Structure 1
Amino acid sequence: MSPTSSATPAKPRKAPGNAPKSDVPADERAALDADIDRLEAGAKVWVALTLDQRARLLGRVRDAVGVVAQEWADAATVSKGLTPGHPLSGEEWLGGPYAVIGLLDALRETLEALAKGRSPLDGVTLDEAPGGRLRAHTFPLNGTEKFLLSGFTGEVWFEPGVSAIEATRAAGLAQLSPTSSGGVGLVLGAGNVTSIPVADVLYELFAHNRVALLKVNPTQDALVPVFERALAPLIEPGFVRIVRGGAATGAYLTSHPRFAHVHITGSAVTFDAIVWGTGTDAARESGTPKLQVPITAELGGVSPIIVVPGRWSAADLKYQAEHVATMRLVNAGHNCIAGQVVIVSSDWPQRADFLRELHAAYAAAPQRPVWYPRSEERLEAAASAYPDAVWSADRTRAIVAAGDGDDEVETVEYFAPILGVVEVGGTGQEFLDGAVAHANDRLTGTLGANVIIDPATEEALGEGFERAIADLRYGDVAINTWTAFNFLTARLTWGGFPGATLADVSSGIGVVHNALLLDRVERSVARGPFRPFPRSAGKGVFTILPTPPWFVSSRTGAEVSAGLTRYLVDGKLPGLVKTLTKAMQA
């Protein structure tokens, strides 16, 4: 492994304690140790920076991301078997440079507030959520957000018992004591969405005052040169290092005695291997983890899409069917964020109409490679478990009907384009409560839940609807939008529901993103419009957005996503006008 900046690396030195045994060649181990040397030196510089200096540093990173944005999107698109500028490349703009620029801007505003002696929550509306919880309305907070994403809102719910005074005082996390070092952290990057590794490194730096070594997933090796240039302002002073490597490199690093913390975005299987080791249950049975330092994780699970019955128009049925298809098919289903099980009412008079539209939208979505490692095995497993599955797109995607027992589609995160449908009885509150209980009790994981409900039905349910949302045991909930919105919104949090442990990690431990640096967060809730423009006029939540650019059915999603990112980069209004014109043609 070579250092990732042009600066001369620190001379390797012997690690304290016992060096980990490894299959990594000696020269690569020496290079990794040199990276850790450099980070340990950088940690001393980091804690000497003022908040103003850190805010300006974020501005430099932002500039660097803007310079490489096009290359970033193109490299990510090609890595997934598509060509640059492909109609589906909008996913790579939104899930790459767009998300990172939004996070950088929000973090910088947080640091600027703290530098002035203010809380990041100053000026944010706080009120009461169900169950006596405190809620912060963190999106939108500026005119650009209100205009470009009109009709969308976001809230952060704190754990029960947190007061407004406590939340306000604690906002800022490690930046409240910037001279206290969090040491050197190890970030094991995700392999599916390109903003994740960068965002996780930023969270280590700003939430924990920890400099970080990022080991990218091999699926993202092609992005390393882009990451190096985007993060050059952090790499050059020794705050970040980036390395490649496979399982052996990961094992060497997670066993290294000089890391203070590990963060992983991946699977529960990988998490358990890091924490407990492989090949034996002795460590788990003894309750003594192999890993000797704290670990946080964002893992995934089986995400529900609860479709609350109502009286929908033909246009509503078609639009929401495309919405559900999007939740599963973006990135070919290789998302921890993907919806996997649709919960519908067996007593809904429009059930058959909706499912017919869903099958049509699912089959009609643009075909693309199923690219993530071992995806073909998962497709074969679904074919074996569900011989009556409805396949489409040359048998690369399927919709399956879940039975009454323990179904694979409810317990196994396929990480592939397999969508399950399960029926729960009742209508109105009876159905919603039953669907929430089904999601909580039967589906694996606690990361994200999606709820689709028309305005009239939501109004009729009143407080019962909000109570049901509070009953969902998920770290992110999206109402009439997809939890991808939560993921992309910097001032919301992303992570599993609190309560996971090393022995039962579920969808992970801790949160990321969280640009306001809030403490003791329980969940984030996003809300969107049930109908797009122009049908949104006078019918519930109004929005100027037609079909959102992240929909797989959007004809102009790539151009709009690229245009929105460029507007964040340069702020040029003529480009934005052109982008909005394209959005209206979606």
Structure 2
Amino acid sequence: MSAELSGTEPNRTEPNGAELNGAQLDLALAELGEGSERWASTTLAARADLLARTGACVAAEAKRWVTAASRAKGLHKSSPLIGEEWLTGPYGVLTSLTALRRTLRAIDGGHSTLASRRFGRAPDGRVTVAVLPLNRYDGLLLHGFRAEAWLRPGVTAAQARDRAGLGQLTPTTNGGVGLVLGAGNISSIAPLDVLYELVAHNRVSILKLNPTFDGLLPVYRAAFAPLIEAGLLRIVTGGADVGGYLAHHPGISHVHITGSAATHDAIVFGGSRTDAPRFTKPISSELGGVSPIIVLPGRWSARDLRYQAEHVATMRLHNGGYNCIAGQVLVLSATWPQKAAFLEAVAVALAAAPTRRAWYPGSDGRMRAARTAYPAARLLPGGRLLVAVADSATPAASWSTDDILTTEYFAPVLGVVELQGSGQAYLDAAVETVNRDFLGTLGANILGLPSSIRRLGPGFEQAMARLRYGTIAINAWTGVGFLSAAAPWGAFPGHTMDNVQSGIGVVHNALLLDDVERTVVRGPFRPFPRSIAHGEWALLPKPPWFVSARSGALTARLLTEFAARPSARKLPRILAAAFRA
């Protein structure tokens, strides 16, 4: 039995040569226990100041952070894809630190974190809270994008205001010491999880890095030095034995994992799945899934087809395809006259995207498995695979358990499913299909002409209410929700340890909302200036996170510098770079 499962003492060596053994881990946990007591006696104002100092250290390490993450992924320093590392690395952490700091100051001043937020209504009386734009700069730099958190049915606006703040409403409560098992694909995930544990739950953390990011250890330690020096964070490396030892350690009160359901189940069930979990500690998680891209039929121009094909390519190929919310299956109307033209545009966009090596462990094996399962799949330049799972002549029962629907490939594989119908009937069928047949509930994407959505009217919003996903992106990618500091991020509520699907709980959520059901992101069907022709007022050009954005690296770096020290004087240069995308 492995140490991951048995909790036996590890004995490993960190990249810097320091021996990492059980005694040293015990000492780290003891120091964190003392730190948790200090945090419980720290004022809200002092907490906000600590986050400000941490933000300054993150900003100082940003360039080194991006260099180390790029090296881990085999990106050349001149690659336009470097922009991904800026946005999903220091930028995401800096925006979260700023938002959390403002939340702490609001609560310290006796205000609800929602005092200046706009409330709305969603189907079945749900209360919604605007979470993007969070400030006036968001409104300009992400002009045309917005997001709302939908609260669970029955929660009132007054209750939302009273409950917002989570652990900071009772700051003297000691949340103990938690274990954060870090992700190995996006470099901001583990730090964001640590910050959320600290602020939302008053819980200090020992962070075990995924071995993929061991090379970032010195960067993380420098970037988060204020938290480490305060005894609120320890960062360690190691394999499954270290994770297992810590998870089962009596000094750990809670575990948070970002990764796969298999790793979650190894901890919870101890290697062999039983009827009841063996793990008795509370555990939260974000575990990915199979994300659909539902396309509404309509009369699209050639440029519409091309742009949205690049959008789909971004959803699939961002970070090389190694994202928990990478779009994995296109859902199309079998009777859409432009179906073939769109699929060809998607194939062209996938083939044209910048090439990169398969850097995430196990990718080659997963690609081989996909090619074995789908021998007729279309192999595209760059090693991308386009899979036609089913068409209108295929009975749904024969593909509802298909690999592409029930396996998160975590590789550049894109599937296609066709359904009968048009209009509301097609949308309802698509919602029913993805709810029933697709693995997980983390994120779903909807693409459609604004005129098509307007024609559906209330039926469209009702369909969104029936779509059981933690983040729904309409004419946007769910990655926008991930990068929005105040947007709650996690699976649709209701999963349990013995049926975990995409995970349990939420993170990010800088307004510290309680009773969240989902986040809904809305973007423009086309960027400026074409957005105006579609009746949308959106000034953002092609987003910098698109894999086809030529100036993505420069724009992302400038956005990170802006997040570190916002100034109106920096805006013209950012916008000029963005318009060169």
Partner of 2:134: 141
Distance 1:99 1:558, change over 3 A: same
Partner of 2:384: 397
Partner of 2:15: none
SS of alignment partner, residue 150 of structure 2: strand
Partner of 1:425: 420
Written as runs of structure 1 = structure 2, the 5 A alignment for 1:316-327 is: 316-327=304-315
Q: Does 1:336 align with 2:324?
A: yes
Within 1, Cα distance between the matches of 2:452 and 2:243? 50
Displacement of 1:292 in angstroms is 2.3
Question: In the alignment, is the contact (CA less than 8 A) between 2:347 and 2:380 conserved in 1?
Answer: no
Partner of 2:217: 224
Question: In the alignment, is the contact (CA less than 8 A) between 2:113 and 2:511 conserved in 1?
Answer: yes
Partner of 2:496: 501
| Structure 1: stretches of 5+ with no match in the other structure | 1-18
Question: In the alignment, is the contact (CA less than 8 A) between 1:447 and 1:476 conserved in 2?
Answer: yes
Distance 1:270 1:381, change over 3 A: same
Partner of 1:407: 402
Q: 2:183 aligns with which of 167, 184, 190?
A: 190
Displacement of 1:142 in angstroms is 1.7
Question: 228-237 or 529-538: which moved more?
Answer: 529-538
Q: 1:104 aligns with which of 86, 97, 108?
A: 97
Structure 1 outlier segments of 4+, above 4 Å? 572-575
SS of alignment partner, residue 134 of structure 1: strand
Q: 2:49 aligns with which of 56, 59, 66?
A: 56
Q: Does 1:490 align with 2:477?
A: no
Question: In the alignment, is the contact (CA less than 8 A) between 1:74 and 1:85 conserved in 2?
Answer: no
Partner of 2:16: none
Question: In the alignment, is the contact (CA less than 8 A) between 1:428 and 1:461 conserved in 2?
Answer: yes
Deviations 1:477-509 (A, max 9, x none): 000000000000011011000110111000000
Partner of 1:354: 342
Question: In the alignment, is the contact (CA less than 8 A) between 2:134 and 2:486 conserved in 1?
Answer: no
Displacement of 1:126 in angstroms is 1.1
Written as runs of structure 1 = structure 2, the 5 A alignment for 1:84-163 is: 84-163=77-156
Partner of 1:570: 565
Partner of 1:7: none
Partner of 2:302: 314
Structure 1 counterpart of 2:76, which letter? T
Displacement of 1:358 in angstroms is 0.6
Distance 1:72 1:521, change over 3 A: same
Deviations 1:39-68 (A, max 9, x none): 011111101111111011111111111101
Partner of 1:8: none
Displacement of 1:427 in angstroms is 0.9
Partner of 1:557: 552
Q: 1:290 aligns with which of 278, 283, 288?
A: 278
Q: Does 1:545 align with 2:540?
A: yes
Partner of 2:246: 253
Displacement of 1:412 in angstroms is 0.4
Structure 1 counterpart of 2:107, which letter? L
Displacement of 1:450 in angstroms is 0.3
Displacement of 1:574 in angstroms is 5.0
Displacement of 1:84 in angstroms is 2.2
Report the TM-score, using the length of structure 2 for normalisation: 0.95
Within 2, Cα distance between the matches of 1:136 and 1:85? 40
The Cα RMSD (Å) is 1.3
Deviations 1:62-116 (A, max 9, x none): 1111101111111111110112242101000000011001111111111111001
Structure 1 counterpart of 2:566, which letter? G
SS of alignment partner, residue 537 of structure 1: helix
| Structure 2: stretches of 5+ with no match in the other structure | 1-5, 13-18
Within 1, Cα distance between the matches of 2:434 and 2:217? 38
The aligned length equals 562
Structure 1 counterpart of 2:331, which letter? I
Deviations 1:330-387 (A, max 9, x none): 0110000101000010011111111111111011111101111111000000000111
Partner of 2:446: 451
Question: 532-541 or 352-361: which moved more?
Answer: 532-541
Within 2, Cα distance between the matches of 1:505 and 1:314? 42
Within 2, Cα distance between the matches of 1:39 and 1:541? 51
Q: Does 1:45 align with 2:38?
A: yes
Question: In the alignment, is the contact (CA less than 8 A) between 1:530 and 1:540 conserved in 2?
Answer: no
Structure 2 counterpart of 1:498, which letter? P
Question: In the alignment, is the contact (CA less than 8 A) between 1:184 and 1:211 conserved in 2?
Answer: yes
Question: In the alignment, is the contact (CA less than 8 A) between 1:113 and 1:119 conserved in 2?
Answer: yes
Distance 1:449 1:27, change over 3 A: closer
Within 1, Cα distance between the matches of 2:533 and 2:336? 25
Q: 2:512 aligns with which of 503, 517, 523?
A: 517
Within 2, Cα distance between the matches of 1:27 and 1:488? 33
Displacement of 1:173 in angstroms is 0.2
Within 1, Cα distance between the matches of 2:384 and 2:433? 25
Q: 1:24 aligns with which of 5, 11, 32?
A: 11
Partner of 1:299: 287
Written as runs of structure 1 = structure 2, the 5 A alignment for 1:235-250 is: 235-250=228-243
Question: In the alignment, is the contact (CA less than 8 A) between 1:528 and 1:541 conserved in 2?
Answer: no
Displacement of 1:252 in angstroms is 0.7
Structure 2 counterpart of 1:93, which letter? W
Within 1, Cα distance between the matches of 2:554 and 2:42? 39
Partner of 2:367: 379
Displacement of 1:538 in angstroms is 4.2
SS of alignment partner, residue 21 of structure 2: helix
Within 2, Cα distance between the matches of 1:363 and 1:92? 22
Structure 1 counterpart of 2:559, which letter? L
